[in-house]
Structure formats: structure tokens, C-alpha cells
């Protein structure tokens, strides 16, 4: 098959959930012998240079520079708009013209839109080619904003976030009903779309990772140690880790939780330095090698209070045999067994008890981590995920296409 993937972010390097998923999709398709092209928006905010990656020799790749910064005035004016600036800022008429030329010149079988930010270009693609269009929902965006609003006590913030959630929901459902098929990562996301009025066929497809990249080495792991890894420019991550630090700072610094806590990831605000305590809590920021960092720590926390989709960092943590303590929301989409391959904690008391047990019982942590790895090998290996995606593509195409 001839496949075009559109992404709102360059998936090089694989330093977050979105680029990991997009990259592994490309690799899986190429390994199966399909012809893949990637067109990516390269935002000025986190601009990436042309990478040195072997996959680029096997695909057609083009990045388009775009400025997604929004002024205070533009945010204010958006209050009177029917759409959200979080989405509108990804529209560029020059990119749309480039995309139209791309789909006219190439007879793609499948064009996959990875996420809501590139869905702005669905109309242009639909009008200029006969390719089948697949939308992959990394999150149900309006659900993320609604859950964020539910966590706010400030009436103004709650109202503001709900307004954005409503706007995004209207736009999201309108766009998704224009495609030929939708793939989601979780049954919860499928149910949300169906209940909201989505009429397009929806397939639940797992996050796939290349297991060969995940090689845990317990001899290099600090035991016990607690860590969080995630980009804090994504509001659910920031909200969750702030909640955790506010609730457990005293316990970690002078209480009974005698364990070092490490916070790492992109775009950590300077205000987080106030949480740093020498020898106790380490606000590290971005790390050079995420998997090396994960390998060096033993207990991973995922205190998500509002999100959607599947957390790729949990999948990676499980592949690295980490003992993970997560909210039910953070573990959505995983076919987990609580107490067997992950620990579920939905409030401060449950987190406290789970952490206390883990730092006291090294063998129990190892047990959880080993079982977690087995789960990922069985259900989230890249070959498993890619074959399911290809089956979805093939069902959309005429019988003679293979």
C-alpha cells in the first residue's frame, strides 16, 4: 500500500508519547513492505532539524516550518470565536497548498491524520484526491479539556476550560464524521466518540513499541527510588505532578516515605524549582536519554487526574520492567491486573500506601515489573499493533489493493 501520514509534530527524536507512536507506526509499516510518506508540521516552538535516522532512507519525508505561538490579543479575540485557538494556530494556507499538491501528484491508498491539530486539512485533502482517510485519535481532545475543567475549583478557570471543551467537541465531532475510519487506543475513547454522535467506523488499536529498544538492566537501578517522566507543556501532566508534589512533599522530605523522588521531562516551569530539596527531591528537567533515566529508577508514578487515550510512557515503563503506580485514568487502555502488573491508586491515601509498600519490598516491585513486561510483549509489540492497523487499511480499500 501507498500511505501518507500527516503529523502536527516532527517524530524525531522520540522524546514523547506522540512522536513515539508516529515513529513506530512508520517503522512497522516500512518493515511490512509498505510505501510510506511523512509530512510533518515543524513548529517554531519546538523546532527540529533534519535528523540522522535510518528510517529516513526508507520513506519520503517533508517537514513544514510553522509558527504556532499565539499572542495575548489573539487569545482574547478567540473568546468571540466558535473555534479554539489551540487548534486554529496549526492552520497555515501555504501548508494547505503544499498538501494539495502532494495528494494530487501521488495516488495514495491511505492518508492518515495523526491527531486533531492536522484535521484542519481534511477538507482540502478530501476535495483533491480519492484516497481513503483514516483519523487516529491520540486523545479525545474535548474530553481532556472537560476533565481539566472538572478538577478546577476556581469558577472563572472552570468556566473558561468548559468553554474550550465545548468548542473543541463541536469541531472534533464535525471533523471526525468526514473521514472513512477512526482508530483509538482505548475502549473508553471509542465509547466517548460513539456516545457523542460519531457515525464513522471506530477501531481500537493498541500502542505499539519496538521491544528490541527496551533492555532493562537492574544492576544500574537505584533501589528504592521514585520517579516521574513526562512533558509538562501538556496540561494533564502538569496538573497531576503538581497534585502529587503538593500532597507528598512533606512525606518525602521529612516523613516516613524514605525514598528519593526524581522529576524529569520537557518544559518544566522554573517555579518547580521550589519543590527541589537537596538529597530528597530532584527536579531534573529534560534528560539526554529517557530510557537510561527510566532504567536508573525503580518505581514510576503516573498521577493523572484528567486525560484521555493511552499513556505511552506507561507502556514504555512496563517494557522496562518498572513497578508503576498509576491512577485508573492514567492506566486507561491497558489490559492490566491491579496488584499483578501495575498498582492502581486513585487518591492520596492509596498512593501513600502503594509507595510505602514498594519502598519496603524490593522483591514485590520486581514481581510487578516482570509481569508488566510480559503484558507489553503480548499486547503492545510493534508487529502486533502494525498488523492490526494494516488490517484496518485493507478493509477500506478495493480487494485488488494489497
DSSP state of 68: -
pTM of the model: 0.87
Instruction: Identify the band that residue 76 occupies on the pLDDT scale cut at 50, 70 and 90.
Output: low
Q: What is the pLDDT of residues 283-307, one digit of tens each?
A: 998 898 999 999 999 999 999 987 6
Q: What is the pLDDT of residues 247-283, one digit of tens each?
A: 999 999 999 999 999 999 988 999 999 999 999 999 9
Q: What is the pLDDT of residue 308?
A: 64
User: 381 pairs with which residues across the strands?
Assistant: 209
**Predicted confidence (pLDDT) at residue 75 exceeds the cutoff of 80:** no
For the chain, what are the domain ranges? 2-208+381-396, 212-379
Q: Give the C-alpha separation, 187 to 181, whole Å.
A: 16
* Fold that domain 2-208+381-396 belongs to in CATH: Rossmann fold (3.40.50)
Q: What is the pLDDT of residues 310-362, one digit of tens each?
A: 688 899 999 999 999 999 989 988 999 999 999 999 999 999 999 999 999 99
Superfamily of domain 212-379: Glycogen Phosphorylase B; (3.40.50.2000)
78 CB contacts (<8 Å, ≥6 apart)? 84, 85, 88
Same CATH topology for 2-208+381-396 and 212-379: the answer is: yes
Report the candidate in 20, 49, 54, 25 with the shortest Cα–Cα distance to residue 38: 25
Q: What is the pLDDT of residue 78?
A: 62
Q: 59-64: which pairs have CB atoms within 8 A and are 24 or more residues apart?
A: 59/26, 59/30, 60/36, 61/37, 62/37, 62/38, 62/98, 62/102, 63/10, 63/39, 64/39, 64/40, 64/92, 64/94, 64/95, 64/98
Say if residue 87 is exposed, middle or buried (CB neighbours under 10 Å; 0-12, 13-18, 19+). buried
Instruction: Identify the band that residue 366 occupies on the pLDDT scale cut at 50, 70 and 90.
Output: very high
Q: What is the pLDDT of residues 107-145, one digit of tens each?
A: 999 999 999 999 999 999 999 999 999 999 998 888 877
Amino acid at each position: 500500500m501507498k500511505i501518507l501520514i500527516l503529523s502536527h509534530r516532527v517524530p524525531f527524536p522520540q522524546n514523547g508519547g506522540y512522536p513515539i507512536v508516529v515513529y513506530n507506526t512508520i517503522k512497522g509499516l516500512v518493515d511490512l513492505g509498505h510505501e510510506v510518506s511523512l509530512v510533518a508540521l515543524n513548529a517554531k516552538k519546538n523546532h527540529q532539524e533534519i535528523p540522522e535516522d535510518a528510517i529516513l532512507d526508507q520513506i519520503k519525508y517533508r517537514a513544514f516550518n510553522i509558527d504556532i505561538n499565539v499572542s495575548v490579543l489573539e487569545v482574547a479575540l478567540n473568546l468571540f470565536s466558535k473555534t479554539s485557538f489551540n487548534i486554529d494556530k496549526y492552520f497555515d494556507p501555504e501548508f494547505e497548498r503544499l498538501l494539495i499538491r502532494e495528494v494530487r501528484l501521488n495516488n495514495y491508498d491511505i492518508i492518515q491524520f495523526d491527531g486533531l491539530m492536522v484535521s484542519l486539512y481534511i477538507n482540502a485533502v478530501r476535495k483533491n484526491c480519492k484516497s481513503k482517510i483514516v483519523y487516529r485519535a491520540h486523545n479525545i481532545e474535548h474530553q481532556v479539556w472537560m476533565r481539566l475543567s472538572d478538577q478546577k475549583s476556581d469558577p472563572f478557570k472552570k468556566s473558561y476550560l468548559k468553554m474550550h471543551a465545548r468548542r473543541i467537541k463541536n469541531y472534533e465531532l464535525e471533523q471526525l464524521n468526514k473521514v472513512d475510519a477512526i482508530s483509538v487506543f482505548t475502549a473508553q475513547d471509542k465509547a466517548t466518540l460513539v456516545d457523542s454522535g460519531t457515525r464513522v467506523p471506530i477501531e481500537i488499536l493498541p500502542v505499539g513499541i519496538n521491544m528490541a529498544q527496551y533492555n532493562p538492566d537492574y544492576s544500574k537501578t537505584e533501589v528504592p527510588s521514585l520517579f516521574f517522566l513526562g512533558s509538562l507543556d501538556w496540561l494533564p501532566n502538569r496538573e497531576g505532578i503538581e497534585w502529587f508534589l503538593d500532597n507528598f512533599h512533606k512525606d518525602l522530605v521529612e516523613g516516613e516515605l524514605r525514598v528519593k523522588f526524581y522529576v524529569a521531562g520537557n518544559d518544566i516551569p522554573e517555579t518547580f524549582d521550589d519543590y527541589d530539596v537537596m538529597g530528597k527531591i530532584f527536579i531534573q528537567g529534560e534528560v539526554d536519554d529517557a530510557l537510561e533515566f527510566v532504567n536508573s529508577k525503580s518505581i514510576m508514578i503516573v498521577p493523572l487526574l484528567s486525560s484521555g487515550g493511552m499513556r505511552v510512557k506507561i507502556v514504555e515503563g512496563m517494557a522496562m520492567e518498572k513497578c508503576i503506580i498509576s491512577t485508573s485514568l492514567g492506566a486507561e487502555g491497558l489490559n492490566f491486573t491491579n496488584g499483578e502488573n501495575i498498582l492502581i491508586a486513585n487518591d492520596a491515601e492509596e498512593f501513600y500506601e502503594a509507595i510505602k509498600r514498594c519502598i519496603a519490598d524490593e522483591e514485590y516491585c520486581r514481581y510487578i515489573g516482570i509481569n508488566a513486561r510480559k503484558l507489553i510483549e503480548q499486547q503492545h509489540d510493534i508487529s502486533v499493533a502494525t498488523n492490526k492497523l494494516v488490517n484496518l487499511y485493507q478493509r477500506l480499500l478495493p480487494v485488488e489493493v494489497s
